[in-house]
Amino acid sequence: MHSERKARGLPRGQASESDTDTSLHVEDSRGKAAGSFKPASIKVKKDIYERARARMVETQIMERGVSSKEVLNAMLTVPRHLFVAEALYSQAYNDYPLPIGEKQSISQPYMVALMTEALGLSGSERVLEIGAGSGYQSAVLSMLAYKVYAVERIHAIAAMARKTLDGLHCSNVIIRIGDGTLGWREEGPFDAIISAAASPQVPSACIEQLKPGGRLVIPIGTEESQELLRITKTANGTVSEVLGGCRFVKLIGRHGWQQPREIPR
């Protein structure tokens, strides 16, 4: 059973549940111009965590059955420690989620690998990511897809993700602040959609904005426990597969959980 840290309420003054607030748009202009279908490569410096990353891939990811060479290579390459606070660097390659502020968390490495593999990417895809969080999953996806459209509802988190991704010259990820349960209509339909936050039901926009043959990977269930689903859009509807049990933070938005009311002081 995968365990994600639970979101307990929300800080004041963050994104509302209304449609995307374009005034808070965070976009990397370099992301606009990619011309070929070869995924952009990120620029990584040598670091002291290479062995920890290799161990993580071997013992947490390969041993649990993830076998895609491309996914394993991305997990070996992306420096996960850079997506958490410096005080947590030494824990960055451990087998659990870590806090990233605003009561949110960076997903467990295995869960990132499993979800990425389930999308079945070949390099040419336009992928919608709901809940960009630290940007770690976005960086992994950026190595496997043509372009990643990431939506994050909390401004401070999106800004941090953008900074980290820019530091890695990750140019094919665009981050937008808004409610990802509405998808990203202007950029759809997508070849693949991934949500790193759990919803009580499949947001209808996700199915609408998926191309025929497209895959949606999303945790669905209650606040306490969910099933990771892969939903494939077919000519006649959708086909759902259960990939396993999991626990993620809540997808908060119009087609997810309601935003918790603030307790008046």
Binding site for ligand SAH (CB under 6 A): 100, 104-107, 130-131, 133-134, 136-137, 151-154, 157, 179-181, 196-197, 249, 251-253, 256
**Smallest distance, Å, CB 261 to ligand SAH?**
16
125 or 152: whose CB is closer to ligand SAH? Answer: 152
Task: Give the Cα separation of 54 and 56 in Å (integer).
Answer: 5
Question: Which residues pair with residue 210 across a beta bridge?
Answer: 190
137 or 171: whose CB is closer to ligand SAH? Answer: 137
Its sign, for the CA torsion 195, 231, 80, 170, is negative
Place of tokens 């748009």: 25
How far from chain centre, in Å, is Cα 82? 16
9 or 213: whose CB is closer to ligand SAH? Answer: 9
**Smallest distance, Å, CB 105 to ligand SAH?**
6
Among candidate residues 23, 68, 90, 107, the one labeled active-site is 107
> Is residue 107 among the annotated active site residues?
yes
**Smallest distance, Å, CB 127 to ligand SAH?**
13
Q: Are 222 and 246 in contact (CB under 8 A)?
A: no
Task: Give the Cα separation of 77 and 100 in Å (integer).
Answer: 21
**Smallest distance, Å, CB 265 to ligand SAH?**
24
52 or 158: whose CB is closer to ligand SAH? Answer: 158
CA dihedral 122, 125, 129, 134 (to 10 degrees): 60
Identify which of 178, 187, 245 has the alpha carbon closest to the alpha carbon of residue 22.
178
147 or 250: whose CB is closer to ligand SAH? Answer: 250
Beta-sheet strands, E only, within the chain: 98-101, 104-106, 126-130, 147-152, 173-177, 190-195, 210-221, 226-234, 237-246
**Smallest distance, Å, CB 142 to ligand SAH?**
13
Residues annotated as catalytic are 107
